[in-house]
């Protein structure tokens, strides 16, 4: 009986290892990075125009919208 149990355990472990792990954490990090990038791009463009804080805040507001779109397109099954 021991070999049957071992093969069953091995097949369960191999099925679990084929699934990607930490997908929700990866999606959260991706969302955070996109929000920060949008804020930095807004700040950079705003400094060219002379309104770095105002356009940086606009980038910070637009960032979650763009981030959710990126996360949704990348992680549809979450």
pLDDT tens by residue, 15-71: 555 667 788 899 999 999 999 999 999 999 999 999 999 999 999 999 999 999 999
Q: State the DSSP H helix or E strand holding residue 24, giving kind and residue range, or none if neither.
A: helix 23-49
For residues 34 and 66, the answer to whether their CB atoms sit within 8 Å is yes
- pLDDT at site 15: 58
Residue 5 has pLDDT above 80, yes or no: no
- pLDDT at site 52: 92
The pLDDT confidence band at residue 77, using thresholds 50, 70 and 90, is confident
């Amino acid at each position: 009986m021991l070999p049957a149990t071992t093969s069953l355990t091995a097949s369960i472990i191999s099925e679990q290892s084929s699934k990607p792990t930490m997908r929700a954490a990866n999606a959260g990090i991706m969302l955070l990075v996109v929000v920060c990038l949008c804020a930095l791009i807004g700040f950079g463009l705003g400094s060219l125009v002379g309104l770095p804080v105002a356009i940086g805040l606009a980038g910070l507001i637009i960032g979650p919208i763009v981030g959710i779109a990126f996360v949704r397109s990348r992680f549809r099954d979450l």
